Amino acid sequence: MNPDLCIALCTVPNETIAGQIADALVSEKLAACVNIIPSIMSVYRWKDVIEHGEELLLLIKTSEAVWPLLETRILELHPYELPEIIAVPIQTGQADYIQWIKNNLIAS
């Protein structure tokens, strides 16, 4: 069990923003790794209108301990009025990889 580790999910509008956020989070040790998944289609309600938009998805390996800093940093860099920043816990994983995530985050 790894109760502190989580994968944060964040959608972004384009590759430039995806790269900027990913680079910042990893270089500042707010994330051990960020995967950038291209070309997802999002369907959502915004201001009472159903919207359809092509986005990219960031899978951010992080911890609950650094969540407040990660959330603040994404909000600083993200162009959306209300960006998606949510997380799911990492329940288990390959032990060496889990340790690698922990080793590549700022000390909590």
- Distant-in-sequence, close-in-space partners of 81: CB < 8 Å, separation ≥ 6: none
- Distant-in-sequence, close-in-space partners of 68: CB < 8 Å, separation ≥ 6: none
Ranges of each domain in the chain: 5-103
Minimal CA–CA distance to 60: which of 74, 46, 72, 47?
Answer: 74
What is 5-103's CATH number? 3.30.70.120
| Predicted TM-score (pTM) of this structure | 0.94
pLDDT, tens digit only, all 108 positions of the chain? 566 999 999 999 999 999 999 999 999 999 999 999 999 999 999 999 999 999 999 999 999 999 999 999 999 999 999 999 999 999 999 999 999 999 999 975
